[in-house]
């Protein structure tokens, strides 16, 4: 996907949609069962910023702040928020099972 995400002929919103469609589902597979601790939270946020930087073709040696990258792609950090929403939805699904009726 590197060639597609770095393709200059595609506009940035299209590249972001491709990123959300093809890359993030691979990461989010099974995230409902994860235990999110501080080190995992940092790794998730770093991965999100890494994908945005790849999309903008920003080299790792360039000193561009995360806020500047988010401004360029016109996005906010949302990957961790998506994981939290999925975890809560899965918990609701589990608690609706007849095994937990007494609770």
Core vs surface per residue 46-73: b (16+ CB within 10 A) or e: eebbebbbbbbebeeeeeeeeeebeeeb
The distance in angstroms from the start CA to the end CA of the chain is: 46
Give the containing element (helix H, strand E) for 99: none
pLDDT at 102 over 70: no
The per-residue pLDDT for range 9-53, each reduced to its tens digit, is 889 999 999 999 999 999 999 998 899 999 999 999 999 999 999
pLDDT band at 103 (very low <50, low <70, confident <90, very high): low
- Domain limits, the chain: 29-100
């Amino acid at each position: 996907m590197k060639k597609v995400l770095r393709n200059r002929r595609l506009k940035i919103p299209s590249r972001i949609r491709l990123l959300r469609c093809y890359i993030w589902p691979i990461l989010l597979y099974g995230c409902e069962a994860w235990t999110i601790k501080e080190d995992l939270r940092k790794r998730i946020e770093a991965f999100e910023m890494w994908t945005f930087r790849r999309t903008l073709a920003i080299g790792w040696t360039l000193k561009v702040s995360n806020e500047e990258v988010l401004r360029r792609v016109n996005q906010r950090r949302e990957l961790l928020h998506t994981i939290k929403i999925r975890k809560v939805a899965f918990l609701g699904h589990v608690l609706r099972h007849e095994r937990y009726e007494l609770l």
